[in-house]
Amino acid sequence: MSKKVPQDTEDQEVDLDFISKKIGSFFERINRSIFNSIQFFIKNWVIVLILVGVGFGLGMFLDQNQKSYRHEIIVAPNFGSTDYLYAKVDLINSKIKENDTLFLKEVVGISDPKNLKVIEVKPIADVYNFIQNKPENFELIKLMAEDGDIKKVLEENVTSKNYNYQTLLLFTNSKVTEENLIMPLLKYLNTSDYYSKIQKVVYHNVELKIQQTDSIIQQIDGILNNLSNSSKGGLKNDKLIYYNENTQLNDIIKSKNDFLNERAAHKVELIGFDKIIKENNVILNLQLVKFANGNLKLLLPFIFILGFIFLRFFKSFYKKQKHLAEL
């Protein structure tokens, strides 16, 4: 047992000596690499300085000119025109992809068609208004949800197209105003002979409903006035008149309140029915934030220098391999 101890100690010393040499060699390679890098930049400082200057200048230019903006228009497609809206947006998108600036300028009316990059339409999920006072919609969602996830059902194209509000998303290269982009676009979307005819009929029907409701409210007021006058006359004669449940006075008052609410709802409808595609809110010039936004003046010099180092390394590697191949 005692004879093996010196041999084990000697082996450990050899292992430690080998490890220390490896560590020393590793740090020596690091030092050599650092020195070679410094020598490389010293020898090529002029080229590096030019690349930094060119990259910084180009980056400044791109940072100022290569910006993207998002614009949002919340609209309400009236008279069942949701599919019409989606079709119009698809048509505009196809013309943008085809670079058909003549169509965008002459037909749609956009003054700077090259500025518009893409247009999208997305539904605003509002399931409560979708099923409000519409039992058939509620039953439809229940039926569709039996075979799948309720969230997926609400986001499906068949369901989402029937929501009251949709969002138009427009993406441009520079800032815009309502006059040169939004107003011409909405005018184009509201140009439809078919839906214009429907609009006139629906608008007229709602006005008739308001007139009829006003007439019914006047009749109810007349009934209430008669009852009030009868009550006052009874008091003058020192006779008390009692109205029990059979007189249905409470029902009359409730009916009047319902008709008042109905008239108010119809008047609100008329506000939205003045257009086929009614805009409710417009948000312009939301700058898209990306990683490179405002940072190109710092990124491009770094990229140019890395590219230069790669080219020099590749050139050196090629010469060395070519030399070895010729031996």
Say whether both 135 and 225 belong to one domain.
Answer: no
Say whether both 121 and 227 belong to one domain.
Answer: no
Residue 240 is predicted with a pLDDT of: 44
Say whether both 148 and 102 belong to one domain.
Answer: yes
DSSP characters over 31-60: HHHHHHHHHHHHHTHHHHHHHHHHHHHHHH
d(CA 59, CA 62): 5
Say whether both 179 and 84 belong to one domain.
Answer: yes
Whether the per-residue pLDDT at 137 is higher than 70: the answer is: no
How far lies 39's CA from each of 36, 42, 52, 313, in Å?
5, 5, 18, 14
Say whether both 173 and 282 belong to one domain.
Answer: yes
Residue 246 is predicted with a pLDDT of: 44
Residue 105 is predicted with a pLDDT of: 93
Kindly indicate the confidence band of residue 128, based on its pLDDT and cuts at 50, 70 and 90. low
Long-range CB contacts for residues 86-91, cutoff 8 Å, separation at least 24: 86/121, 86/161, 88/188, 88/189, 89/119, 89/120, 89/121, 89/168
Residue 92: strand, helix, or coil: helix
Say whether both 150 and 105 belong to one domain.
Answer: yes
Element (H, E) at 182: none
Residue 31 is predicted with a pLDDT of: 79
Say whether both 80 and 188 belong to one domain.
Answer: yes
Number of domains in the chain: 3
Say whether both 36 and 161 belong to one domain.
Answer: no
Residue 226 is predicted with a pLDDT of: 80
What separation, in Å, do the N-terminal and C-terminal C-alpha atoms of the chain show?
57
Whether the per-residue pLDDT at 104 is higher than 70: the answer is: yes
Between helix 193-236 and helix 249-272 the angle, nearest 10°, is 150
pLDDT tens sequence across 203-254 = 999 999 999 999 998 988 888 788 767 655 554 444 444 444 445 677 888 8
Say whether both 181 and 101 belong to one domain.
Answer: yes
Judge whether 68 and 171 are in contact, CB under 8 Å. Answer: yes
Mean pLDDT of 94-111: 93
135/184: higher pLDDT: 184
Say whether both 283 and 160 belong to one domain.
Answer: yes
Whether the per-residue pLDDT at 189 is higher than 60: the answer is: yes
Residue 21: strand, helix, or coil: helix
Residue 242 is predicted with a pLDDT of: 47
Show the domain range for 148.
Answer: 67-192+277-287
Say whether both 107 and 31 belong to one domain.
Answer: no
Say whether both 188 and 204 belong to one domain.
Answer: no
DSSP 289: P
